Amino acid sequence: MVVTGSELVRGERTDLNGPFLARSLLALGLEPARIEIVGDDPAELEAAVRDAIAGAELVAISGGLGPTHDDRTVEVVARVAGLELELRPELEAEIETVSRRVAERMRRDYTDFAGGVRKQATVPAGALSLGLAGTAPGLVIGVGGTPVVVLPGPPPELQRLWPNALATPLVRHVLDGGRPPLRRTLRLFGAGESMVAQAFAQAGGDGDGVETTICARDFEVVVEVLSEPDAEKRAEELTAALGSRLERFLYSDDGRTVEQVVLDLCREQDLTLGTAESCTGGLIVARLTAVPGFSETTLGGIVAYSNELKERELGVPAALIAEHGAVSAEVAEAMARGARARLGVDVAVAVTGVAGPGGGTEEKPVGLVYFHAVTPGGEKGSSLSFPGDRDSIRRRSVVAALHLVRRVLTQSRDKAAWLGG
């Protein structure tokens, strides 16, 4: 994968395309060899493309397909392939139709777009067009027997055109030689990475067609067990042994994330969910609403950073804040109860803390965060002291809040089942 864009090299934006393509290819049975991020300099881009083609059976390039002077990917690939560039009238007409609509919305004259349209409709001879997801066409070009897939840089556009690339004969020929691995995913919360590594070793470790990765982030550990088709039994045994040894930390053995588990628990129990957030600033509800189908359960959230908003929007008593402070177990509980009442939801989770870099005291240092979850079947509060910078404290707070909801909902469900309700 060659990902182009000087803004990526400078750290102004994060690459999303390389990881997306790598995950997709791995699932199809191809081993991702390298993701290279390169700027818009044509010499550097050409060197990256030549190097990729020389060492891979399939090359995917993203970015540099726009109408401006620094969008050079198509001409660079043509030069590497030794192909002439040609203007395709039918492609020009297709791009023109889209560009005229854009011009109308922007109330600009189409002549401002015409040069860019011709540039984007000029492609290497013999290139196969994958259609448009914006104004730039995706392309598949054969370079010395190696299929080179050229895709737009914006992730939504790339993801729309990628299935078209996978269906082309050139790419299909490479994919037919792949053997999709069997994948099992365990997600754990509260277990240390070294503890998981020890359990992994005790369970037998890798080998015999099984390869495992252990990744820790924000107090979660994700274990991915990949196996060749003929090693399925070995992978199942390893996964079962790991799950047994780490049972008290295991919250998902089917790949579901904590937000997916929480939403599924709400659906099972016919419950609606809302949030009250201070230091996380809406990140909890953002994570929930990123899951397709969230609207069946998640009604929304209230971000109340100031004391005034906590009082006005969540009904937190001013006297409670004065006595215990905005960052306290008592205020977190009041926020959760207030959100449940104001939003009209069955389940509410609240978070308030000191995310830093300033604002901490000896009694309440940076990283101290309080949580509270309220459900029809019970409620629970907790507090944690997180290390790290503001961003990591906020991320970890979101994870901890969601796991608190998960635990309370799981206990409520299990209690209802035990009681026969």
Name the nearest CA neighbour of 17 among 53, 64, 54: 64
pLDDT at 343 over 80: yes
Q: How confident is the model at residue 421 (pLDDT cuts 50, 70, 90)?
A: very low
Residue-wise pLDDT for 153-189, tens only, equals 999 999 999 999 999 999 999 999 888 888 999 999 9
**Pairing mode of beta strands 210-217, 220-227:** antiparallel
The predicted structure's pLDDT at residue 214: 94
Asked if residue 413 has pLDDT above 90, the reply is no
**Mean pLDDT for the stretch of residues 293-307:** 94
Predicted confidence (pLDDT) per residue in 355-387, tens digit: 999 999 999 999 999 999 999 999 999 999 999
pTM for this prediction: 0.80
- DSSP at 384: E
Please give the backbone phi and psi of residue 286, each rounded to the nearest 5 degrees, phi first.
Answer: -65, -40
Please answer whether residues 158 and 136 qualify as being in contact, where contact means their C-beta atoms are separated by less than 8 angstroms: no
Beta strand pairing status for 146-151 and 59-62?
parallel
Ordered DSSP codes for 51-86: HHHHH-S-EEEES--SSSTT--HHHHHHHHHT--EE
187 alpha carbon, distance to own chain's centre:
16
Could you give all domains of the chain from N- to C-terminal order, each with its CATH number? 2-175 (3.40.980.10), 182-252 (3.30.70.2860), 258-419 (3.90.950.20)
Lowest mean pLDDT among 100-104, 193-197, 227-231, 412-416: 412-416
Evaluate if residue 419 carries a pLDDT over 60. no
pLDDT at 179: 81
